[in-house]
Structure 1
């Protein structure tokens, strides 16, 4: 029988009580279970579910669904199977284990999000046997059981569109979202485990130290990659001796995290494996394990979590950071990526657990260690790209169709990446910029700066990790190549890097061959990346991209394909984490999220929000996508473009206003857009009996004026009769 920690017992009881209260509600409710990495979330969930079903006095019958990411559902199922092995109070099942296409009382169905997102998944789509999730849920509820949904690592999953569809299909009585870093939104209850309590109970380490005593490593001609690996191996040996000293058989594990592969950038895997081989650490002698993608390899992973397993080093990429559990992991090695200074608390969480769930008398064993060639480190919140970084605004229920015609201009692929013409343009620009004479042909040595003896004490806080001491190590030729590849990708914007980075690489090499007569690639990379020169090259490349845009992109003769369609305000719009929620009463989207409004836009929204006007609702339009409203026009160079007006406004008389806020110079430059908008309004009203009005709007002396003339003119000093005073009364 597992002895529960005091904080675990309290959290389990509170979670049980909160879920029981939510089961009495008439509609579906959400309970968030927030508990730090290493606190025993799965154990607490297992015990809480056991107490939920045991000795119920209300005769409620419960069935459970447990959804996780990647293979975490298998790991969770195995953990709960072991936990219930003796009492058999709850049955753990996969789809194949279900009887009579239903989830029995006190049964948990486990699956993962990836499986349900597959189009051909037989458990999600309709099939001849009716053995799909929808039918299983229906059968379960028809037999009088309430469904409780557990979403493990919820911050990585529950906001994706497909995931939300599945949650809606399940329609659980109660959803328990489990995470160390949840998105606190739309919840009914929250049960939270305090980080300090977990730490005080000896479940996780007291602190994490960055590059301790790394300056004592003999540098010689080593790369910074070699230095951090050597330092990590040295620390591992020290820790092994300390475990033996305290009478423990723990074999401390090093985790080496490889950067994600990028097109055109050297892959570090083979180089690291070769370095470890020289240290006597290989997959053959089982001291090295590899955990990469399915297409790569998974080697020596069996029993790796056992305290005395022979594996000393595990090579992995980002995917292992979520849900992987190996308490003997104590050292993390991170390699420098271009301008990257952040890693997630979920990743550092893999070395935060105490292997025997208590703190030792030897304090060094109560620490985690990070060795990295980053000069500064920030611990960042772990935020999933597609799920947690976005918010959702939904169209108000009382919205009625407006059916206005919109145009969408499809992008030309030629405009998204550089072509061979860029090389000649760059050489011309470099000559005009006098780049040859500006640059230092013998720049100072490029070095990697390593932080020494940095410490992370508050493991659950976002923080900059600084150090008074740093070690500078000269970059090797291979490190120069790696960082040069990343530099090329960084200067491609706004063009796609896969093709464009190679065009820029060729252009730079040609410049050196022609103007400076250097063909040694390492020497060229050193000059370009040198601190004295780098900005000169960035400026010339940016100049060349501007010329390329004017002479190549904007002169494309091919007309962009236009799609005409009937537009409605989108049912929902997603926003990233930079968007802020604002309480606007008349916005058609609820809640209303905003990114960065201009001053005229903010003022105009205030004007629309007035309580004494006839505005029913207003919509802040987006741009560049088909879901947003657009009027086709031609710019001053006759190039067809889409005009995405800022605001669509419905008033009580049924009229729809199309307004675009401008001020100063932007108002002066709006002639083509303004005239196209008036032409569109006139045609739609005459041909399709619409009730449209609007135009360019500018603020003037505490009023708003708008231009609805077929011929547009703007004189800020004297707007004249062409500009009417705007009123929504």
Structure 2
């Protein structure tokens, strides 16, 4: 298991939240963000660092979620000590346990999972654990479903002072510590799809004899298209259609099954699966990428906890009854099957087909700009031969490489402390730099007298307190310190431990070893110097980034042509839907979305300007769009996708739009890299003999202005010129 940077950051924040006075910690994370991975990794690390801990993970009753969560922890964390309710009933709670318990087995009236005598026995197990000095940390999964009086009553039995509540849609607790993982972070990491596309290519007026068959037909066509796109990139993945029926809809279910049979999808041939509370068919291995089933029938109740990353398409069928919208339903189709984007709009999107207006409205409200209507647009013939030169990066450094991190730390230690191959000399140099080299655990305190609490420690006597190292007692301290050092740079515990051992432990081979300590002395070294080691590691990473020089060419070139077709997303609820005639695509609508305010203004300007012959809106990610290479402040290569390519009196211009200036001239641009992007855009335009610049709106005059020569944040400077006067 390799955690993403945002997941390790969430683990770090969980550790920090555990040290605050707040009882409740809310982990708000979108479906598909790897919440179980984050929590199980945190639980394992916490247990290693803090003795006498027992985690109790409470789940709602639907879908055997507690068994799924336990299975994931067993899979991800090989040394974990996990239990279900039946295991607790047999042997009680023990130190280092992570217990996964179905909430409703404890709270639901008439539930025979726990008879009265067993319930008493369960409470006795809790009391025995408390008497033995164990303390409970409670994790409430899908907490939005468990915010009930009975639930709180159960939590009270554990006498816990820490409850971690996690959900994509948590209910607020005023005094809680909130850790929020943004959807943008999860999308950027490639774990969930970039866009939810609603009712793609639906006509304005649908004439059909059977609405169900119309929707299913659209879904099957999309499934075939997705399968074909995967085969083009040599990925054997069978995209899954999730067909959600309303509860109590036997007649509708029957019509769905009959229609799918005419298309060759049946339970008998394995191409159709079903998951209802009283019926499971063809579910074995349904989550494997190339599973045989192309569609699964579910009902409302299965939304929570179901995980099948190859699910791409949701068909939401309705009856005349109202059903509440659940964001978790959409979550079922948002995961990326291989936890990465394919840089292909078709494969990086998921698809909803429904005629349920309330459901569509709920989706749009929940996902905001992430849910849009869509259709396929085709390039007009006269623009098919337009050719530009694009740039790709040749060096990608998206995650921390443990081997490179080790080399960077060794290099920085050599630079900062002057260490080399002589271990005795290295010891002296580290001591001079303030490192504690005792084989005992060393702590410091002060003694003296003061009349006020605002005393100066320099007026006091500094006292050194030493304690004999005991690897059993201090092992947890060592583990905690290594974990914190690693989280400082987004490095997992196991990698950070190996790095420290290679640098300082005599039993680990490494050519640039700094000290050759006995293994037990490494414990003392880390515990005594954890702050200095955190500083060393953090500074080494920053130094490595700053010094990064590319031995290979920094970029490669490719021929860019405007894509022959595009997945066009728009706001179907917008009042105006007129066609923008100068766009290179047929039937490009004025309600195109998502679009920033500067983009909307610029597109309208292009349509009105007599000088602009045609314009193209570039994509913001993917190999099919025009990209230019630049470096961020840490030296990491990134791709810049300019917003627009336009033709002005036969000349190609490339334009980037940014947030404008308010009436007082203050900047509303939130992009920190705008000056860098301006420079690389200008260099690119000069290299290829093109024109262009950055366009921003001046609210004082309500005019679009362009900067073409020297970038400035002062709209009143001569560097900004009114766009219409430049293009005349």
Q: How does the TM-score come out when normalised to structure 1?
A: 0.48
Provide the TM-score with structure 2 as the length reference: 0.48
